[in-house]
Structure 1
Amino acid sequence: MARVTKEMTMGELLQTYYEQCPEIVDVLTGLGMHCIGCPSSIGESLADAAYVHGIDSDLLVEKLNATINAKLGE
């Protein structure tokens, strides 16, 4: 089961899950978070990134975990 948390950085998220589940990029961009490749976003927590984009961080984490779990069959 995926364990994405609000405290996880964008870099940690991508490093941990992108190879297994590239669909996480669709979740991020679908919510208006197009900063995936920005150097400054890599060290930013998901909570901070969500705040900057006016997104509820709990919703973001929920969608990421659901997408990863669906892809990995968990």
Structure 2
Amino acid sequence: MELTVTKDMAIGQVLNIHRGTARIFMEFGMHCLGCPHATAESLEDACAAHGANVDELVHQLNTFLSEQ
């Protein structure tokens, strides 16, 4: 896939690119993927709220998408 995920993107945007990314979000403790607020939240804000490393999340998402 040609698209690059950035920390400014909303969770919902990433999920719309490929639903398989949900597994990665879950691994980072983001279990409320269906919540309207959560899907509009930026990756950076979501990571701050969950104590996760945004750079690692972005890296894993981009790695996953590049393999699709």
* TM-score (structure 1 length as normaliser): 0.82
Distance 2:12 2:25 in 1: 13
Q: Secondary structure at the match of 2:29?
A: coil
**Structure 1 residue corresponding to 2:37, chosen from 28, 37, 40:** 40
Q: CA RMSD in A?
A: 1.1
Runs of 4+, deviation exceeding 3 Å:
none
1:15 CA displacement: 1.5
Task: Write out per-residue CA displacement over residues 8-57 of structure 1, whole angstroms, 9 at most, x where no aligned residue.
Answer: 00111112222xxx2x1111111111121111111110100011000010
Q: Which runs of 5+ in 1 are unaligned?
A: none
| Higher helix fraction (1 or 2) | 2
**Structure 1 residue corresponding to 2:62, chosen from 51, 60, 65:** 65
* TM-score (structure 2 length as normaliser): 0.88
How high is the sequence identity, in percent, across the aligned residues? 37
